[in-house]
A and B are shown apart, each in its own frame.
Chain A
Amino acid sequence: MPPRAGFSKRAQYTQFTGYIAAGLGALIGALLLGVSLWQPQFLSGLRGGAQDVAAPGTTAVAAARTDSKDLLATIRGYLRAGSQNAALKREVEIARIRLKEADAVRQENARLKALLDIRDGEVRPVAIARLVGSTASSSRRFAYLGAGSADGVQAGMSVVSPRGVVGRILEVGRNSSRVLLLLDSESVLPVRRARDELVAFAEGRGDSLLRVKLINLGINPLAVGDMLVTSGAGGYYRPGTAVAIVTEKTADGALARVVSDPAATDFVAVMPIFESAAARVADTPPEHVLDQGGPG
């Protein structure tokens, strides 16, 4: 018994019960922690509800933050207007030419697809919303999105910004949802190199980089500056969306920087699951598939 309680029996008992209660608290916490590590979806409804309550505040702050960022960008733009203008004009001219070329390619694509009788309807986003907050102090990388099940958002849907993939919906509340960012160390995304069919996995590393692991080992063909896009394998993401740019080669792949940095992202679109049948198969353990005689 620590000496601070002195000789008062009452004070000693109070202190003792305090210790018991605190010990019980730690024990309850350990149990909760064990269960939620074992079943990550445990009590996710509670978290979703809490998020919904906080959403109005975080949305307002997110809006104010974006506006102030725009203001700074405007001021910076004034300072370098002349040289930037000239550079942009050159760039736009090149881009116009490339755009015409892309038109031709698109037309040819459509013709070929018509020949092959492939229908691809336009995919509309389920919802467009702001990234309203994040878990900025935890070592997990989650963001909160200002749209939830009321807008038709479901777990597993992909979240993209105009620049590229941001992440995937993990939990859904009524008016908000939790997004697993690409940078989280639990996130794995099948990618391919933009200019050929080199396939790889991009895993979050827990810091600001992705680790790219090649599927076919051998001579590492990746080079710094290579663009990686989604391959569509797994069925969650639409193929061909920009993911990351290789910044450093490693022995079994590369390190890559995410194209759509969540810190620079404002509005994002929630896309429907690309091929839900494929996603279901990907989620089913192999032995289960074997029991049922293979994926239908």
Chain B
Amino acid sequence: MSETKTPSKLEKILSSGQLAVTSECGPPRGSDPEVIRKKAQMIKDHVDAINITDNQTSVTRLCSLAACIHLKLMGLEPVLQMVVRDRNRIALQSDILGAASFDIHNILCLSGDHQKFGDNPQGQNVFDIDSMQLIQTVRLMRDEGKFLGGDDIARPPKMFVGAAANPFADPFEIRVPRLAKKVAAGAEFIQTQCIYNVDRFKEWLKGVVDRGLHEKVYILAGVTPFKSAGMAKYMKNRVPGMDVPDELVKRMSGVPKEKQPEEGLSICVETIEQLKEVEGVSGFHIMAIEWEEKVPEIVERSGLYPRPSVGE
């Protein structure tokens, strides 16, 4: 996995064998570009690339593509998240080209949360293709310069193709085969669901390494700091596919309320520390939900700072 296929900075860092660090910003529920610029400003020196979420939890927001363009105009490296929930294959391919026209070089292919969770539960969903098929679509467009319909693309997109993996969802037994399937579809990097149960994550990763999948795909371990004990409980009980061990909830509840944010950050740093040297981990994806200002601290305390510079 040493030669790169795209101009992506993220791909360059990963292929150089260094641990990559990515983070994410949720776009605002309005049209003020300052919101996204401010968030990016806070973290830009501490991460290699910034994911922009695509109407996460099905709540309507400023679109991922436009937010990525704002980052690009700031000279930063965006990862365009794209869900298949809201767009059919025409719109998906069209948006990929739109992103490519701004030289956005990273894409994360996702299914998307069901619209039931969002602000338009009465809406239709699309799901014309699924996330695996979106991975295939981007690879087809990039590698063969073709549309799904078979026609040639003038100036094909040059995107480093990512996918998500949730090592904690059920059924556990197919979680490794599922990753294998995403790799077979063409995924080149993976950002995982937030890891709280480190043992279970390692068990999954062992299965990944046993099959040699870590040599075919870069895995960025996902982490999210708890802001409070309440958030830990919410993540444990309310968020589908999330595995928060009781000990962590207890640990968060065990400290006074004003100390809880600090404790949450410590847990996050410890998780990164525990996983840094583990075979199969190529980097970290730090999802500090509406807490972007803490990303630099997490990166520094985890010994992941300074970030490498990559020549063009």
Chains A and B are bound partners: no
A residues neighboring B (CB under 8 Å): none
B residues neighboring A (CB under 8 Å): none
